Amino acid sequence: MNSKPHNDKLEQARALLDGGEPSLTELAETVGLSPSHLQRRFSARFGLSPAEYLAQRKLGSLRSALREGHDVSAALYDAGYGSPSRVYESGAAKLGMTPGRYRAGGAGEQIRWSLAPTAIGTALVATTARGICMVELGDDPQALEAKLRSEFPQALLERVDAGRDEFLAPRLRAVADTLGGQGHAVPLDLIGTAFQKKVWDALMKIPAGQTRSYAQIAEQVGAPRGARAVAQACANNRVAVVVPCHRVVRGDGSLGGYRWGLPLKERLLQRERAA
């Protein structure tokens, strides 16, 4: 079956979403597909439904305008938000902070952090008031701190001695337990695209000691041809182990890649299987 006509229609639909805010019905009528067919095909090709794609496009426009220093109110309306409350209700969660703070490059965002000894080495754990925003693994404390500062250059960073902060201490314990093979649910404050967050949510549903292939995760999030995009989402994961991208492998069972190195990925999987 020749898929080119359908692909052309999907590209047309994407172009229409890039240029306006058509409803699903309007979009389907314009490209000559039924709404349900368009919804299914669009999601399979791009990893997002038309509504999710539109929301992500608007959020991207807002981010760009804020980074360029535009006034917050003007940026909101130019990006297509009908009122400021719409983005403060939903957009702030995707930005990881309010639009005003995002415009300032994260200035004023308070992040507490500490180093935790774990079963496989040192972990840097950083958290905002909303939840863990970064877990970095390594052997060099200075390098770990430098990585944190490079990720959040405008934030107010406060180092806290392990065990001396009622807010941070349970998160340190949860990360240490997870690295020891015993997972715990902890609040997270993740910044990513809608597709990346879909992938990360799927990863957190993989039981400890088990693995899934990149292709299986792609299928699970509604993008059966998106294995490479899944791998990229794993590479962009800032929260080691808590969002367990180490549990995703290639279709042939080989380890694939890992931001913190394949030896650590293999060690994590071995510990989880033995727990």
Q: Which residue has the tokens 């590479």?
A: 235
User: What is the longest distance spanned by two Cα atoms in the chain?
Assistant: 64
Separation CA 25–CA 38 (nearest Å) = 9
Number of Cβ within 10 Å of residue 257's Cβ equals 15
Amino acid type, 21:
E
- Long-range CB pairs of 17-21 (<8 Å, 24+ gap) are 17/50, 17/53, 17/54, 17/57, 18/57, 21/54, 21/80
Judge whether 245 counts as a catalytic residue.
yes
Separation CA 220–CA 31 (nearest Å) = 27
- Active-site option among 245, 248, 264, 268: 245
Dihedral sign (CA 195, 219, 131, 116)? negative
The burial class, CB within 10 Å (0-12 / 13-18 / 19+), for 165 is middle
Separation CA 90–CA 76 (nearest Å) = 13
- Residues with a catalytic annotation lie at 245
